[in-house]
Amino acid sequence: MDIKVWNDMIKDINSNVELEGCLKTSMERITELLDVEKASLMLLDKENQELSIKVARGLADDIIENTKTRVGEGVSGWVAKNRKPLLVKDIRSDKRFEKREGGYHNNSLLSVPLLVAGDELLGVINVNNKTTRGVFGKKDLDALNDVAAHVSSAIDRAMKYEEARRSSQIKLDFVSTVSHELRSPLASVKEAMNLLLDKIPGKINAEQERFLEIAMNNVERTLRLINELLDISKLEAGKLDMKRNFQDICIVAKHSYETLKIDADAKGVKLNLKMPDVNVNMWFDADQITRVLVNLISNAIKFTEENGMVNIILEDLGGFVQVRVIDNGAGIAEEDLDKVFDKFYSVTKVKRAGVKGTGLGLPIAKEIVELHRGRIWVDSQLGRGSRFSFTLPKDIRTV
């Protein structure tokens, strides 16, 4: 077979992230490849040790729905049990399979196992009867077996993807319920504390006010944590809607800079923004990218001492933009560098008054950048400062 046709076929099989598409494409390409009358792809139910047809060609609907083959029984059961490809030139004269009820409607057939990681069985592919005259030969069997190796890994990947999606959805459902339940009582606590701080019920002394403020900060932090937890769960489950528009990223960078300039000034940290003086129009979600920028810039300010400096540099690199947020603050130790994008991670060694975050800002930023098909990373030296960088392709449709 022509190498290009072969490569296209493999690429096509691998192009589906979801199982249904993956099975359908595999079936289409296999029937094309071998020119067969009938074909079926069966998957194994591990618990019952039973194969059932997931996708087929040339078979009646009731056969597709009702066929259940136990491992060890019949042709596909033999292949599943022995984990070996099988070529039968004429099933009616093959002694191994003569006991089947109702007999066989096929003559020549191929059946190959779908295996991953050596011998983990996912299922079986069967093809029956060539459309042209003649019977299957060793060459056909080898070709089908080669395709099956690619089909197996594509199915395995799709199953794992769906499993990850399912567990993210379960997590999201749980987090949604819990956050809803937590938010209402916390809102009442906040309201009551606001009344006390506004001295509506009566005067309070300075010490009482200080304690109330500490309590209030923690209520607010908890509310922030709940919102962020909900957001990261949505991002992970693919349920946070991205509103991508074609727009100027410099406007978004300038807006984030101006918002945080007030905090930087208040702390005595110098905040600079350097970017092209022409528009950099590209496809992205302005709210989400603002969120990434605000997180990186506010972290940089938070972890930089008075008189320190934070530089934001946005560069147009042709097909993509690169943004760097560079500070000369606390820095991050080498052993912590690969953990800062983990959920709930916070470097406790660097203690600072009022710097209690949620540990979810960077994981959220990472999800957002990756959903834009970009990359985010950090370089840092303890005591010298940090540089957080991310890239975004300008046209997400071409990557």
* Residue ranges in contact with ligand ADP by CB under 6 A: 295, 299-300, 303, 327, 329-332, 340, 345-347, 357-362, 386
Question: Which residue, among 252, 297, 313, 289, has the nearest Cα to 396 in the 3D structure?
Answer: 289
Which two three-digit tokens encode residue 117?
């990681």
DSSP β-ladder status, 270-274 and 245-248: unpaired
To the nearest whole angstrom, how small is the minimum distance from the Cβ of residue 7 to ligand ADP? 42
Compute the distance between CA of residue 230 and CA of residue 59 in angstroms, rounded to an integer: 46
To the nearest whole angstrom, how small is the minimum distance from the Cβ of residue 289 to ligand ADP? 16
Which two three-digit tokens encode residue 341?
């994008």
Closer by beta carbon to ligand ADP, 186 or else 347: 347
To the nearest whole angstrom, how small is the minimum distance from the Cβ of residue 186 to ligand ADP? 18
Q: 217 near 189, Cβ under 8 Å?
A: no
Question: Which residue, among 109, 145, 106, 123, has the nearest Cα to 41 in the 3D structure?
Answer: 123
Compute the distance between CA of residue 105 and CA of residue 92 in angstroms, rounded to an integer: 9
Closer by beta carbon to ligand ADP, 69 or else 295: 295
Residue whose Cβ sits closest to ligand ADP: 357
DSSP 338: G
Question: Which residue, among 367, 326, 320, 322, has the nearest Cα to 343 in the 3D structure?
Answer: 367
Compute the distance between CA of residue 75 and CA of residue 87 in angstroms, rounded to an integer: 10
Half-sphere exposure of 290 (CA within 13 A, CB side): 17
Closer by beta carbon to ligand ADP, 160 or else 339: 339
Closer by beta carbon to ligand ADP, 80 or else 332: 332
To the nearest whole angstrom, how small is the minimum distance from the Cβ of residue 165 to ligand ADP? 24
DSSP 281: E
Q: 109 near 127, Cβ under 8 Å?
A: yes
Closer by beta carbon to ligand ADP, 108 or else 386: 386
Closer by beta carbon to ligand ADP, 140 or else 327: 327
Q: 147 near 8, Cβ under 8 Å?
A: no
To the nearest whole angstrom, how small is the minimum distance from the Cβ of residue 295 to ligand ADP? 6
To the nearest whole angstrom, how small is the minimum distance from the Cβ of residue 158 to ligand ADP? 31
To the nearest whole angstrom, how small is the minimum distance from the Cβ of residue 308 to ligand ADP? 11
Closer by beta carbon to ligand ADP, 55 or else 365: 365
Which two three-digit tokens encode residue 184?
């209402």
To the nearest whole angstrom, how small is the minimum distance from the Cβ of residue 358 to ligand ADP? 4
Query: Which alpha helices (H) appear in the chain, and where do they start and end?
Result: 3-14, 19-34, 61-66, 74-82, 138-197, 206-236, 249-267, 286-302, 361-371
To the nearest whole angstrom, how small is the minimum distance from the Cβ of residue 357 to ligand ADP? 2
Closer by beta carbon to ligand ADP, 127 or else 312: 312
Question: Which residue, among 374, 392, 260, has the nearest Cα to 327 in the 3D structure?
Answer: 260
How many Cβ atoms from other residues are within 10 Å of residue 335's Cβ?
8
To the nearest whole angstrom, how small is the minimum distance from the Cβ of residue 139 to ligand ADP? 57
Closer by beta carbon to ligand ADP, 31 or else 295: 295
Residue 54 main-chain phi, psi, to 5 deg: -100, -30
Question: Which residue, among 311, 220, 232, has the nearest Cα to 264 in the 3D structure?
Answer: 311
Closer by beta carbon to ligand ADP, 121 or else 378: 378
